[in-house]
Amino acid sequence: MVTGGFAAVAAHPNPRGLPGSNVLQQLVNGAEAWALAIALLGAFVGAALWAIASHTHNHHYAARGRMAALISGASALVVGAAPGLVNFFEHLGTTAK
């Protein structure tokens, strides 16, 4: 259909549309698992540093440990929410005219 001299285009995402799509999905799943594992490790290390530094009255390292634990938690939040955010904005984009 041509309106105003421009052809209408459409896109319909299909996760199985290309060869190797299942391998790409496995890579994404594996990367997400690794990212969550690293965030968990960072939270453990940050919390341990925070606890030890607080116990020894080292306020500088206690603040660093607290920041590491909070950043690790925030990164896990971003990793977990990323698929939902991408789907939300993809759906929002399909409603634009």
The pLDDT value recorded for residue 95 is: 86
Question: Residue 87, by phi and psi: left (phi above 0), alpha (psi -120 to 50) or beta?
Answer: alpha
The pLDDT value recorded for residue 3 is: 56
Question: Could you tell me which residues come within 8 angstroms of residue 4 by beta carbon, excluding any fewer than 6 positions away?
Answer: none
Compute the distance between CA of residue 36 and CA of residue 66 in angstroms, rounded to an integer: 18
Mean pLDDT by runs of 10 across the 97 residues of the chain is: 66 83 92 97 97 97 97 97 94 85
Compute the distance between CA of residue 11 and CA of residue 13 in angstroms, rounded to an integer: 6
Q: What is the pTM of this model?
A: 0.78
DSSP H or E run through 2: strand 2-3
